[in-house]
Amino acid sequence: MKILLLGEYSNLHATLAKGLKALGQEVVVASNGDFWKNYPRDIDLQRAPGKSGGAKLIMKIYSLLPKLKDYDIVQLINPMFVELKAKRILPIYKQLRKQNKKMFLLGAGMDYYWVSVNSTTMPLRYSDFNIGKTLRTNPDALKERADWINTDKEKLNKYIANDCDGIITMLYEYYACYHPLFPDKTTFIPAPIEIEKTGNAVAADKGDAENVGADSETDKYDGILKIFIGISKGRSEYKGTDIMLKAAQRLNQKYPDKTQLRIAEGVPFEEYKTLMEGSDIILDQLYSYTPAMNALLAMSKGIIVAGGGEPENYDILGETALRPIVNVLPTEQSVFEQLEQLVLHPERVPQMKKDSIEYIRKHHDYLQVAQKYLDYWRH
């Protein structure tokens, strides 16, 4: 198959492309690299700074459009798959639709349905936009509502969702928002993670998939809980990392000899990965039910995740035994108490690290996930 992946979030399309290529498919990724994260792509669609940036990007895209044709599959990371105004994107979508076979939309991040559903019917107990039946009124939540409700972005998202051949959601949360509205075209496929072959995993090259990602390092725990937190530029309050950081700092103050805290803020992906190495636990997305790409990557390295591990996450995967995620409620006290349990019970840490790797191998291996995409696209 000839496949075009448009846009990028947290290395999702770049990783999926690797898996698809390994399965013999012809794949092109066109994106802006997800801003400063600078993920790999075949066609760079980064917008130049300054007032002329938009005009230059439009010219570049329209010059590329004649070449972006005759694909079997075109998949969009989001309705806003390039850095242009929604009204500029709609004709680009229509042209892509006209000159290619099938179009698919990912439910993988901020969009109209995510904002609207979580601000109205509220199917989730908590989200970026609600706590229980109470609307969140932090600046980011207010901004996103103003950005997506009754705007050109809403019109664009609705048009694409109704027009495309299918909607693929990568987290339970997005499935809960899209499936009730588009039951016949919405599916769930887990996020793809490339599991590094290190340490004891050399045997995996010979087909021993059970050992992929396994490393004797998971057995080595010195009783000092090494905590890592990555903070997105200007998104700390929205993602809840402000609250998680306070909980981690409290823990570090209470147990200075048993904890270490590392913080990465607004760094490129490669640097982020380097800073994360050697950690025992990562704090990720307070308001999530489900671990997303960065958390899953950490788990593949044997790093425990504190964040979204609600029952719905395991249910949608069909997982009945493994429970490696430290599930936290969206409060500072919950985060503090869950982290403290690992300080007080260090014997749990090595097994949780091993279980994290097994969870990724079982549900998120990029080759397995790429095959699921192929099966869905062909259905």
Encode pLDDT of 171-223 as tens digits: 999 999 999 999 999 999 999 999 876 533 322 333 333 444 444 456 678 99
User: Rounded to an integer, what distance in angstroms lies between the CA atom of residue 127 and that of residue 137?
Assistant: 12
Q: Does the fold of domain 199-363 match that of domain 2-192+367-378?
A: yes
Q: Where are the alpha helices (DSSP H) in the chain?
A: 12-22, 53-64, 86-99, 112-119, 139-148, 152-163, 172-178, 236-239, 241-254, 269-276, 293-300, 311-317, 332-344, 349-363, 366-378
Q: Which CATH superfamily is domain 2-192+367-378 in?
A: Glycogen Phosphorylase B; (3.40.50.2000)
Q: Are 197 and 325 in contact (CB under 8 A)?
A: no
Q: How many CB atoms lie within 10 A of CB 280?
A: 23
Q: Residue written as tokens 């990465």?
A: 264
Cα 51-54-56 angle, rounded to 5 deg: 100
Q: 22, 56, 17: which is closest to 40 by C-alpha? A: 17
Question: 289-346, pLDDT tens digit by residue?
Answer: 999 999 999 999 999 999 999 999 999 999 999 999 999 999 999 999 999 999 999 9
**Ramachandran region, residue 11 (left: φ > 0; alpha: ψ -120 to 50; beta: rest):** left
Q: Are 302 and 360 in contact (CB under 8 A)?
A: no
User: Rounded to an integer, what distance in angstroms lies between the CA atom of residue 53 and that of residue 80?
Assistant: 16
Tens place of pLDDT for every residue, the chain, 379 residues?
999 999 999 999 999 999 999 999 999 999 999 998 899 999 999 999 998 999 999 999 999 999 999 999 999 999 999 999 999 999 999 999 999 999 999 999 999 999 999 999 999 999 999 999 999 999 999 999 999 999 999 999 999 999 999 999 999 999 999 999 999 999 999 999 998 765 333 223 333 334 444 444 566 789 999 999 988 766 677 688 899 999 999 999 999 999 999 999 888 888 988 999 999 999 999 999 999 999 999 999 999 999 999 999 999 999 999 999 999 999 999 999 999 999 999 999 999 999 999 999 999 999 999 999 999 999 8
Q: Is residue 320 exposed (0-12), middle (13-18) or buried (19+ Cβ within 10 Å)?
A: exposed
Domain 199-363 fold is: Rossmann fold (3.40.50)
Domain ranges within the chain, ordered by starting residue: 2-192+367-378, 199-363
Q: How many CB atoms lie within 10 A of CB 181?
A: 16
Tokens of 332: 């500072």
